[in-house]
Each structure stands twice: as C-alpha cells, then as structure tokens.
C-alpha cells in the first residue's frame, strides 16, 4: 500500500535562490551553489545585497501552506509538498504551479517551482524552472533525468568514479543493472542509481499531526465476544494504515487501548515498524483480549472467557513514535534471526504480562555486575549507551557472578568481637571480617575475604557521587559473595554460586 502511494507521488518543490545552499547539504543542487539571478526582485530588506535570515523563509512556508497543510522544509530556501491533492483542488498542476510561484513572488522573492514524480526530479525541475514553472509529466522522470551529468547526484566520489568509467550522464548510469551497481558502488551507488532511474528514495514527510492519526471506534451496545472486537480491529487497523501511508509515515510501535463497560481499560504497546498487516494488528488485539485476566489486574485468576466482566465499549489504535516511511524491510526483531515460533511465544507472554515482561539481555560496559547487563524488552532494538568490550577501570574482575540482585540484599559483616566491620577514609579495614549474615539470617563464618576495593563514582557530581568499598567474601558453606559497604551499611550485590 505504501509502495503504491510512493509510486504515484507527485511532488511540488519551491526553490528560492535568495537562500543559497549553506551548511545544510543540498543533494540535488550539486557541488556548485545554485546560480543567484541578477534580477532579484527588489523588495525591502531582501534585495540582493545579503542572504536573508533563515527565519524569513517562514513567510514562504506560510504562503505555501495555503496550498497544502503539510509542508516539508528541506532547508531554508527549499520546501516541498505532495502535489496530487492540491493540483486536483486548484485545477491542475499548471495552475497550481503558477499560483504557488505567484504567491511567493508577491512576497518579494524570486522562486522556481518544479513538479515531478518524486523529490529528486522535482528539485532539479525547480532549478530549471527558475522564475517559471517546470512540470515533468508523470512517468517522464527517467527521460527528464537522462541527459544530466552524474554530478547532480551530489556524490562527488561516485561521480568521479563514474566519469572515469566513461559514464557521464544519469541515463547511462540508469542503464546499468541494479544488482551490479549494488555490488560495485555500495549504498551511495544504489541510492544514486534509484534516483537516476526516476525512483524516489524517500517520500516527502511533514510535521506529523499526531492526534489526527489515532484510529478509534466505540461500540454501543458493548461487544461481549472477542471475535467481534477482533473483526472491528482489523477494519480499524486498515484505516490507521491508510492514514499513515497517506502521510508518508510509519510507526515504530502501536498502542492498543481496549476499554470495557466496567470501566477497566487495558493498554499494550506492540512493535510495529511498519511491518504489520491489518490482520497482524487484529491478531495482537486478540492476544491482548485473551491475556486479559478476569479481575482486570495482572496475576489474578486465569483468563476469564468473557462472561460477566462487561463488554468492550471502545477500541483505540494509536501510532507511537512516528517516523518517515523508509520502505525498508529491517529484521523485525533485530539482527538475530528469530523464528516465528519464538516470536509468537514471546508476544503471547507479552500479551499476558505486558510489553516489558519479556526481555532480552544485552552486555554493556560497566563496573559493577548490575551495570553490565541491560535487559531490553523483546521486540525492541537495544542501543546501549555504554557498549561492552571497552576498558572499565575498577571493573570487578572475572569470573562474573551468576546471581546479580536487582535490589541489593541487606547484610551484616562483623569481626571476631562482633563489631561491625568498617572501612576508613583511607581505605583501611577496621578489622578482619569474621562473620556474615545476609538478610538477617544465621551468621556464617567467613573463611576467606578480599578487599576493600574502594570505588568513588561520579565524584564530579555532588548529587550522585558515592564512595563505597567492595569486598569478596567466602562463607563456611562455600558460598561466595560480592558485598559493598558504604557509610557503615553492608549490602550484598551479587553471589557467585
């Protein structure tokens, strides 16, 4: 559905040469700055002497917003919007282009307007159509691009390489087989090749009007059979997907909210990534209904089969984290190949317990054992802030403990005389540890110990700074512990058994 929408995309680009390509890269403009016309419309403040403020371009955006509510600003000086709808409303592309150009010129800026299939061709057309309107007819993009030099792709290295191979125009480049281009030139080559063939690497996407994209349905009378709700969910998902693809957007996750007549409501977030079909969304709604414990609270009775707890009164599908549709088919579950069977089992448990209940561990860098394991909810991609495999001075040496308590356990470590063992500011132990009691349990004799390993963390940050000392302790029953003492309080962080 998205692909089709992309294929039929007509894009209108407005280019005002008063704002030359500055720091922001302008792929289509090529290496040289766009030519500034001599006959700059002499209007107050913007006459040829200086480059106008980027904020001044807001006026142009305002002008363009009269033609389409969704304007994408590529950089100050260039903005674009989908031309299909506006063209129909304003009486054809010729008329639309003329009106837009007129509106911008009236503000005192010279402008070029280009309309073509896709952003790249439209950008070039806006340059060619300076002080006029240039329309590349639908399907004519490849022919329009063919005679152009490969340098317009804005990839100097690629252009250089192609020129040395005797390929000087986009037409010649487009004639190469796509697979060979991918082999020989890599990702920049593939992108350039798509552009040269008149395909669009990305549809225009605009500031997303988020509230509008929620798909909701109310049931009156309430539905008491899951089948009916799932059926409605499928249609609702279709609506949502249509709206998203019309906006050139996709969502990373989808939030499903189900409300029942007894006032209870269950909300779940599902990974979407633009890869779920209407049916797949409906299936997730079904799992969510199946996983709804009768009491409305997790951990209660087994699943109630729908009798007596009230029907479903409303269903809402809310796209979460909108992103521009890339048309890319990433592995849904990250890099590791996860079989459907595993994914289904994991998602089923997520439906029962919540998105965060099923996790996948990732190793990250850190000093203490608790910092070294990051638990990522299943279906999300981990982006650890502290990658593993880098040196961490003060890291607890291997072997790693098998048991790392999420909440450290209370402990008492005493010496022969029964006094609490403490560590001085200079890192000296008050006495040899002799007894260890965990969680107020029976004291065990300490047979071996080592420490203190002083830790001063985040000394630069008075709020989070902490001074503590770690010990490894072996008790008489053979158990080995990682303990930490801070301000005279002992905690067990991990166990090595």
Partner 1 sequence: MVGGLVRAGREIGPGQGPVTGADLLPVLPALADLLPHGAFRRGSVVATDGWSLLPLALAAGPAASGAWCAAIGVPEFGVAAAADAGLDLERLLLIPDPGGNWPQVVASLLDGCDLVLLRPPGRLPAQARRKLEATVRRHAAVLLVAGDWDGAQARLRVTAREWLGIGAGHGRLRACRVQVAADGRGDWSRARSRWLWLPGPDGSVSVADGVAPGADRPEPGWLEASAG
What is the contact surface with partner 1 in residues (CB under 8 A)?
293, 298-300, 302-303, 335-336, 339, 341-346, 348-349, 352-353, 357-363, 369, 372-375, 378, 397-406, 429, 432, 448-451, 472, 474, 478-480, 494, 496-497
Host H or E run for residue 349: helix 340-353
Host H or E run for residue 160: helix 156-164
Tell me how far, at minimum, the Cβ of 268 lies from partner 1, in Å: 15
Closer to partner 1 by Cβ: residue 140 or 443: 443
d(CA 76, CA 98): 21
The two structure tokens encoding residue 361 = 């561990």
Contact in structure between 487 and 481 (CB atoms under 8 Å):
no
Closer to partner 1 by Cβ: residue 278 or 493: 493
The two structure tokens encoding residue 316 = 């809402």
Tell me how far, at minimum, the Cβ of 130 lies from partner 1, in Å: 54
Q: Tokens 């402990």 — which residue?
A: 411
Start-to-end C-alpha separation, the chain: 55
Contact in structure between 425 and 394 (CB atoms under 8 Å):
no
Tell me how far, at minimum, the Cβ of 142 lies from partner 1, in Å: 43
In what order do the strands lie in the sheet containing 78-82?
Answer: 72-75, 78-82, 10-15, 112-117, 133-135
Closer to partner 1 by Cβ: residue 42 or 299: 299
d(CA 493, CA 453): 14
Alpha-carbon dihedral 114, 246, 343, 402, rounded to 10 degrees: 70
d(CA 272, CA 160): 41
The two structure tokens encoding residue 353 = 């317990």
Closer to partner 1 by Cβ: residue 136 or 358: 358
Closer to partner 1 by Cβ: residue 41 or 349: 349
Tell me how far, at minimum, the Cβ of 248 lies from partner 1, in Å: 33
Tell me how far, at minimum, the Cβ of 431 lies from partner 1, in Å: 11
Closer to partner 1 by Cβ: residue 86 or 379: 379
Tell me how far, at minimum, the Cβ of 287 lies from partner 1, in Å: 10
Sign of the dihedral through C-alpha 223, 229, 235, 237:
positive
Contact in structure between 266 and 292 (CB atoms under 8 Å):
yes
Closer to partner 1 by Cβ: residue 296 or 327: 296
Tell me how far, at minimum, the Cβ of 401 lies from partner 1, in Å: 5
Contact in structure between 121 and 137 (CB atoms under 8 Å):
no
User: Distance of CA 458 to CAs 372, 389, 464, 466, Å?
Assistant: 17, 21, 6, 7
d(CA 268, CA 387): 30
The two structure tokens encoding residue 287 = 């799992």
Closer to partner 1 by Cβ: residue 463 or 477: 477
Tell me how far, at minimum, the Cβ of 484 lies from partner 1, in Å: 15
Closer to partner 1 by Cβ: residue 125 or 494: 494
Closer to partner 1 by Cβ: residue 207 or 344: 344
Tell me how far, at minimum, the Cβ of 118 lies from partner 1, in Å: 38
Closer to partner 1 by Cβ: residue 203 or 401: 401
Tell me how far, at minimum, the Cβ of 478 lies from partner 1, in Å: 4
DSSP labels, 175-220: TS-HHHHHHHHHHHHHHHHHHHTT--SS--------GGG-EEEEEE
Host H or E run for residue 120: helix 119-128
d(CA 321, CA 316): 16
Tell me how far, at minimum, the Cβ of 111 lies from partner 1, in Å: 53
């Amino acid at each position: 559905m998205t692909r089709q929408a992309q294929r039929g995309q007509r894009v209108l680009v407005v280019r005002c040469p008063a704002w030359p390509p500055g720091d922001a890269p302008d792929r289509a403009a090529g290496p040289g700055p766009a030519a500034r016309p001599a006959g700059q419309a002499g209007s107050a403040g913007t006459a040829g002497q200086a480059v106008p403020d980027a904020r001044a371009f807001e006026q142009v955006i305002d002008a363009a917003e009269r033609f389409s509510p969704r304007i994408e600003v590529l950089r100050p000086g260039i903005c674009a919007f989908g031309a299909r709808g506006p063209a129909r409303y304003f009486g054809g592309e010729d008329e639309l282009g003329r009106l837009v150009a007129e509106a911008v010129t009236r503000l005192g800026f010279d402008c070029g307007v280009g309309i073509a299939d896709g952003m790249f061709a439209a950008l070039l057309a806006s340059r060619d159509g300076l002080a006029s309107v240039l329309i590349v007819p639908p399907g004519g993009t490849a022919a329009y691009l063919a005679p152009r030099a490969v340098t317009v792709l804005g990839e100097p290295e690629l252009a250089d390489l192609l020129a040395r191979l005797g390929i000087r125009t986009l037409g010649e480049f487009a004639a190469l087989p796509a697979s060979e281009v991918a082999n020989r030139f890599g990702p920049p080559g593939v992108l350039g090749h798509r552009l040269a063939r008149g395909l669009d690497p990305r549809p225009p996407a605009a500031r997303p009007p988020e509230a509008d994209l929620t798909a909701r349905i109310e049931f009156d009378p309430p539905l008491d059979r899951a089948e009916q709700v799932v059926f409605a969910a499928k249609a609702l998902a279709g609506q949502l997907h249509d709206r998203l693809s019309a906006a050139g957007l996709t969502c990373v996750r989808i939030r499903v909210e189900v409300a029942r007549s007894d006032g209870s409501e269950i909300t779940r977030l599902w990974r979407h990534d633009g890869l779920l079909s209407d049916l797949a969304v409906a299936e997730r709604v079904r799992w969510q209904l199946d996983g709804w414990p009768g009491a409305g609270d997790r951990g209660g009775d087994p699943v109630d089969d729908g009798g007596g707890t009230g029907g479903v009164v409303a269903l809402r599908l809310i796209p979460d984290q909108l992103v521009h549709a890339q048309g890319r088919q990433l592995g849904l579950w990250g890099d590791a190949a996860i079989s459907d069977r595993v994914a289904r089992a994991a998602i089923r448990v997520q439906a029962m317990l919540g998105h965060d209940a099923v996790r996948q561990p990732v190793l990250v860098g850190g000093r203490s054992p608790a910092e070294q394991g990051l638990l990522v909810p299943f279906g999300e991609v981990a982006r650890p802030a502290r990658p593993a495999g880098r040196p961490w001075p003060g890291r607890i040496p291997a072997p790693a403990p098998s048991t790392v308590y999420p909440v450290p356990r209370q402990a008492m470590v005493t010496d022969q005389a029964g006094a609490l063992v403490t560590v001085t500011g200079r890192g000296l132990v008050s006495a040899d540890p002799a007894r260890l009691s965990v969680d107020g349990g029976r004291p065990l004799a300490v047979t071996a110990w080592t420490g203190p390993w002083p830790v001063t963390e985040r000394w630069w940050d008075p709020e989070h700074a902490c001074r503590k000392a770690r010990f490894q302790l072996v008790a008489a029953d053979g158990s080995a512990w990682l303990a930490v003492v801070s301000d005279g309080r002992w905690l067990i962080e991990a166990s090595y058994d």
